[in-house]
Amino acid sequence: MTTIIASGDWHGDETTAGFIRFADVRARVMDEVRPAALQSDGFIFLGDLTDPDTPRAHLAVALACEFASELAKHSVPSIWIAGNHDTTEDGHGTTTLSPLAGIARGGGMAPVDVYEEPGPAMLGDVPVLVLPYPSVANMYTPSTVIEQVFADCDLPEASPLIIAGHLWVDEGPTDGSESTSMARGRGVYWPLKPITKCFPQATLVGGHYHRAGKLRGVHIAGSLERLRFDEEHNVPSFLRLRWGPGMGAQWDVEYVPVNARAMTTVHMDGSKACERSAGHLVRIIDDGSYTPGEPGLVGVGDAVAVVVVPAVADRVLLDPGAKADVGAGERGIREVVELVVSESAYPDKPALLDRIDARLRSHGL
């Protein structure tokens, strides 16, 4: 039996209503993903470790380095796929995973491989085709790479194929925080039709969306913590893939829930009660009757953070402070991306394809 663990969207730099989430994310990674990964035959990081330009980006990068080096020390190979949040978008094609690539290049962590560009990987004996988020500098067209590069390579048949990516799913949800208060970059989509044509038996695993579950055939690992109040009802999880001879052409995919911090929304509509708040992140939807500090009004004394938001018509504002922060950082990035995209219209850069070829050769494919 071969076991692969996949996890993504750690977002180690995030805050929820001003409450710093790094300690929560670190606990999920080290206490829950790590034991599973150390017993596995390989680990796949599915993207979105951290934005590169936030105050706690370095903590998230250090966590990834610690995690990867511990896996390497125990001879568990790992591959790390860049997400839209990881890209610097300064034209150099580097990401928050680049420090990991540096350590790997230095030779201390041989089984660690970083993918800021598409490429084939061998995770032990398991072939994995990798589709990271296409940054402006490493822009590629996923359908072209599937049909014109990967389809021509001679993949080993020892284990069934995994395709792992950090892309958007056509007709996927547009109401999650990855599309609203945490939006970054532009939508580049899974090439599902070419994959169905060229690799109909592949098992697809992806990051980006924070709610775990299967989206149009792609197993979305989800985030390890609830990061925004629209994730209150998510079940944070990672993926455990299992395959053995006799199991057919696809991996068995298990969603493994983790012990994420709870979120609770209290509606100030008459009930005015919060029964379980210890350790929770609490949101109070204020209909105008909330008075801060009023004794007994809401049992939120044990919550780690409380955010009060006004009810506006039939809509509830999400975490207005965090939204303002993301919006300010996002504007500059969006302007650059749109400018370059309109000028280049998604070319497949020959140099990039050459590098994919080099990856194929390095894996003997």
Pair type for strands 119-123 and 112-115: unpaired
In the shown chain, the binding pattern of residues 215 to 234 toward Mn ion, with x for contact by CB under 5 A and - for none, equals --------------------
Region of 227 (left: φ > 0; alpha: ψ -120 to 50; beta: rest) is alpha
Confirm or reject binding of residue 96 to Mn ion (CB under 5 A).
no
Shortest distance (Å) from residue 354 CB to Mn ion:
27
Instruction: Supply 210's token pair.
Output: 């924070």
Nearer to Mn ion, 48 or 113 (CB): 48
Shortest distance (Å) from residue 12 CB to Mn ion:
14
Nearer to Mn ion, 208 or 280 (CB): 208
Nearer to Mn ion, 192 or 284 (CB): 192
**CB-based contacts of 69, cutoff 8 Å, min separation 6:** 103, 108, 109, 112
Other C-beta atoms closer than 10 Å to the C-beta of 45 total 32
Q: Which single residue brings its beta carbon nearest to Mn ion? A: 208
Nearer to Mn ion, 130 or 285 (CB): 130
Shortest distance (Å) from residue 190 CB to Mn ion:
13
Confirm or reject binding of residue 7 to Mn ion (CB under 5 A).
no
Shortest distance (Å) from residue 168 CB to Mn ion:
9
Q: Judged by CB under 5 A, how many residues of this single chain contact Mn ion?
A: 4
Nearer to Mn ion, 84 or 138 (CB): 84
Between CA 230 and CA 226 the distance in angstroms is: 8
Buried b / exposed e along 7-28 (16+ C-beta atoms within 10 A): bbbbbbbbbbbebebbebbbbb
Nearer to Mn ion, 28 or 210 (CB): 210
Confirm or reject binding of residue 208 to Mn ion (CB under 5 A).
yes
Confirm or reject binding of residue 84 to Mn ion (CB under 5 A).
yes
Nearest to 257 by CA among 36, 4, 82: 36
Shortest distance (Å) from residue 212 CB to Mn ion:
14
Instruction: For residue 343, give the H/E element and its range.
Output: helix 320-344
Which residues, numbered 256-285, are part of the site for Mn ion (CB under 5 A)? none
Shortest distance (Å) from residue 48 CB to Mn ion:
4
Nearest to 17 by CA among 323, 319, 224: 319
Confirm or reject binding of residue 165 to Mn ion (CB under 5 A).
no
Which residues, numbered 43-82, are part of the site for Mn ion (CB under 5 A)? 48
Shortest distance (Å) from residue 315 CB to Mn ion:
24
Instruction: For residue 104, give the H/E element and its range.
Output: helix 98-105
Nearest to 99 by CA among 34, 52, 137, 135: 52
Confirm or reject binding of residue 83 to Mn ion (CB under 5 A).
yes
Contact 284, 298 (CB under 8 A): yes
Between CA 81 and CA 10 the distance in angstroms is: 12
Nearer to Mn ion, 83 or 142 (CB): 83
Q: Provide the binding-site residues for Mn ion, judged by CB under 5 A.
A: 48, 83-84, 208
